[in-house]
């Protein structure tokens, strides 16, 4: 069971491996690991919710970890300047949203070109 004392980096590694398993359900190569005929719709229906669930768990821990790294790098003490803390949180969440949405825009096009 995952508790609040579990290190964040361990959770990232667990999420990485579970995401890999979910991606294998959605379209594995036959020479890597085969769940049978991957063109069946039920295989995708198993992998897609698993991938969505595990990515949310990873993303919940990713943004505070990024803010913490930024605070350590630039020696920002949390709580000393509440305006700076709010601004940092806003900038980090905006940057995250920007890159996430940009990837959602570009990734299907890259996939279409590769296909």
- Where exactly are the structural domains of the chain? 1-75, 80-115
DSSP character at residue 77? P
Report whether 13 contacts 70 (CB < 8 A): no
Residue 59 has pLDDT above 80, yes or no: no
Please report the pLDDT score of residue 72 as a whole number: 92
Token look-up 């996939």 returns 111
Q: In this predicted model, which residue has the larger pLDDT, 46 or 38?
A: 46
Of 2, 108, 106, nearest in space to 54 by CA: 2
Residue 73 in 3-state DSSP?
Answer: helix
pLDDT in tens, 40-53: 667 778 888 888 88
Please report the pLDDT score of residue 1 as a whole number: 52
Token look-up 């295989």 returns 43
CB-based burial label for 25 (10 Å; 0-12, 13-18, 19+): buried
Q: In this predicted model, which residue has the larger pLDDT, 37 or 76?
A: 76
Mean of all residue pLDDT scores within the chain: 81
């Amino acid at each position: 069971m995952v508790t609040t004392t579990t290190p964040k980096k361990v959770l990232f590694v667990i999420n990485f491996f579970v995401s890999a398993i979910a991606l294998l359900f959605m379209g594995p190569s036959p020479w890597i690991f085969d769940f049978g005929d991957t063109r069946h719709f039920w295989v995708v229906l198993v992998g897609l919710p698993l991938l969505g669930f595990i990515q949310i768990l990873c993303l919940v821990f990713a943004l505070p970890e990024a803010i913490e790294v930024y605070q350590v790098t630039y020696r920002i003490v949390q709580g000393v300047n509440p305006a700076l803390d709010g601004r940092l949180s806003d900038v980090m969440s905006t940057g995250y949203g920007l890159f996430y949405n940009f990837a959602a825009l570009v990734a299907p096009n890259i996939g279409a070109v590769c296909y």
